[in-house]
Chains A and B, each alone.
Chain A
Amino acid sequence: MAERTVAVTADLTPAELEQLLLERPDYEVQLESLNQWQLAWRRFRRHRLALAGAALFLALVAIAIIGPFFVHYDYYEIPHPDELVYAGRPPSWISGDWDPPLLMGETARLQRDILGLVVNGARLSLVIGVGATIISVVIGAVWGGVAGYFGGWLDSVMMRIVDSLLTLPILFLILVAGKFLGRGDWPSVMLIFGLFGWLGLSRLVRSLFLSLREEDFVDAARAVGVSDGRIILRHILPNTLSPIIVAATLSVAGVIIGEAFVSFLGFGVDITQPTWGNVLTSSLDFLQQGNWWWAFFPGFAIVLTVLGINFMGDGLRDALDPRARI
Chain B
Amino acid sequence: MSGPDGGAAGGGPGEAGNGVPIVEIEDLKTYFPIRTGILRRLAGYVRAVDGVSFEIRRGEVFGLVGESGCGKTTLGRTLLRLQRPTGGVARLEGRNVLEFRGRDLRKMRRRMQIIFQDPVGSLNPRMPVSDIIGEGLLAQADVENRWGERKVRDKRVGDYLEEVGLRRDYARRYPHEFSGGQRQRIGIARALALDPEFIFADEPVSALDVSIQSQILNLLLDLRDRHDLTYLFVAHNLSVIQYISDRVGVMYLGKLVELSPVAELYANPRHPYTIALLSAVPDPDPRVRKKRIVLTGDVPSPAAPPPGCRFHTRCWLREQLGDPEECATIDPPFREIGGGHRVACHFAERIREEVSTAAVIGVEEPPGVPGGADPISQAS
Binding site for B on A (CB under 8 A): 1, 3, 28, 30-31, 33, 35-36, 39, 156, 215-217, 219-227, 230, 234-235, 238-239, 322-323
B179 interfacial by beta-carbon distance below 8 Å: yes
A221 to B106, CA, bound (A): 12
User: Contact: A33 with B174, CB < 8 Å?
Assistant: yes
Tell me whether A217 and B80 are in contact in the complex, defined as CB-CB below 8 angstroms, given that A31-B177, A224-B113, A226-B135 are known contacts.
no
Give me 5 other A-B pairs in contact (C-beta within 8 A), A226-B135, A227-B139, A239-B125 excluded: A216-B116, A219-B77, A234-B135, A235-B124, A322-B176
Q: Return the CB mask of B167-195 against A: 1 if under 8 Å, else 0.
A: 10000111011010000000100110010
Partner of B126, one of A1, A28, A31, A322: A322
Q: Return the CB mask of B111-146 against A: 1 if under 8 Å, else 0.
A: 011101110011111111001100110011000000
Contacts of B179 in A (CB 8 A): 28
User: Contact: A217 with B124, CB < 8 Å?
Assistant: yes
Contacts of B126 in A (CB 8 A): 36, 238-239, 322
Contacts of A226 in B (CB 8 A): 135-136, 139
User: Contact: B80 with A224, CB < 8 Å?
Assistant: no
Tell me whether A225 and B114 are in contact in the complex, defined as CB-CB below 8 angstroms, given that A239-B126, A322-B174 are known contacts.
no
B58 interfacial by beta-carbon distance below 8 Å: no
A36 to B125, CA, bound (A): 10
A322 to B135, CA, bound (A): 20
A234 to B191, CA, bound (A): 19
Q: Sample 6 A-B pairs with CB under 8 A, ordered by A number.
A: A1-B166, A1-B215, A30-B173, A223-B112, A224-B140, A234-B131
Contacts of B80 in A (CB 8 A): 223
Question: What is the minimal beta-carbon distance from A59 to any residue of chain B, in angstroms?
Answer: 31
User: Contact: A223 with B135, CB < 8 Å?
Assistant: no
Contacts of A222 in B (CB 8 A): 82
Question: What is the minimal beta-carbon distance from A321 to any residue of chain B, in angstroms?
Answer: 9
A217 to B116, CA, bound (A): 9
User: Contact: B109 with A223, CB < 8 Å?
Assistant: yes
User: Contact: B40 with A156, CB < 8 Å?
Assistant: yes
Partner of A223, one of B113, B127, B132, B165: B113
- Number of B residues near A (Cβ < 8 Å) is 42
Question: What is the minimal beta-carbon distance from A323 to any residue of chain B, in angstroms?
Answer: 6
Contacts of B123 in A (CB 8 A): 217, 220
B247 interfacial by beta-carbon distance below 8 Å: no
Interface centre among B105, B110, B139, B165 (most CB of A within 10 A): B139
A230 to B165, CA, bound (A): 29
Tell me whether A33 and B113 are in contact in the complex, defined as CB-CB below 8 angstroms, given that A225-B139, A234-B127 are known contacts.
no
User: Contact: B121 with A216, CB < 8 Å?
Assistant: yes
A36 to B174, CA, bound (A): 8
Binding site for A on B (CB under 8 A): 40, 77, 80, 82, 105-106, 109-110, 112-114, 116-118, 121-128, 131-132, 135-136, 139-140, 165-167, 172-174, 176-177, 179, 187, 190-191, 194, 215
User: Contact: B135 with A221, CB < 8 Å?
Assistant: yes
Question: What is the minimal beta-carbon distance from B39 to any residue of chain A, in angstroms?
Answer: 9
Tell me whether A30 and B177 are in contact in the complex, defined as CB-CB below 8 angstroms, given that A220-B114, A225-B136 are known contacts.
yes
A251 to B191, CA, bound (A): 42
Partner of A224, one of B117, B122, B139, B165: B139
Contacts of A234 in B (CB 8 A): 124, 127, 131, 135
A156 to B139, CA, bound (A): 31
Closest to A322 in B: B125
Partner of B190, one of A36, A220, A225, A230: A220
User: Contact: A220 with B122, CB < 8 Å?
Assistant: yes
Tell me whether A220 and B116 are in contact in the complex, defined as CB-CB below 8 angstroms, given that A28-B179, A30-B177, A156-B40 are known contacts.
yes
Question: What is the minimal beta-carbon distance from A42 to any residue of chain B, in angstroms?
Answer: 13
User: Contact: A33 with B116, CB < 8 Å?
Assistant: no
A35 to B215, CA, bound (A): 30
User: Contact: A224 with B135, CB < 8 Å?
Assistant: yes
Tell me whether A1 and B136 are in contact in the complex, defined as CB-CB below 8 angstroms, given that A220-B122, A220-B187, A224-B194 are known contacts.
no
A35 to B173, CA, bound (A): 8
Question: What is the minimal beta-carbon distance from A217 to any residue of chain B, in angstroms?
Answer: 4
A36 to B129, CA, bound (A): 12
Contacts of A216 in B (CB 8 A): 116-118, 121-122
User: Contact: B109 with A217, CB < 8 Å?
Assistant: no
A30 to B118, CA, bound (A): 21
Contacts of A36 in B (CB 8 A): 126, 174
User: Contact: A224 with B173, CB < 8 Å?
Assistant: no
A39 to B172, CA, bound (A): 13
What 6 A-B pairs have minimum CB-CB distances, sorted nearest first? A224-B136, A216-B122, A1-B165, A225-B109, A225-B139, A217-B124
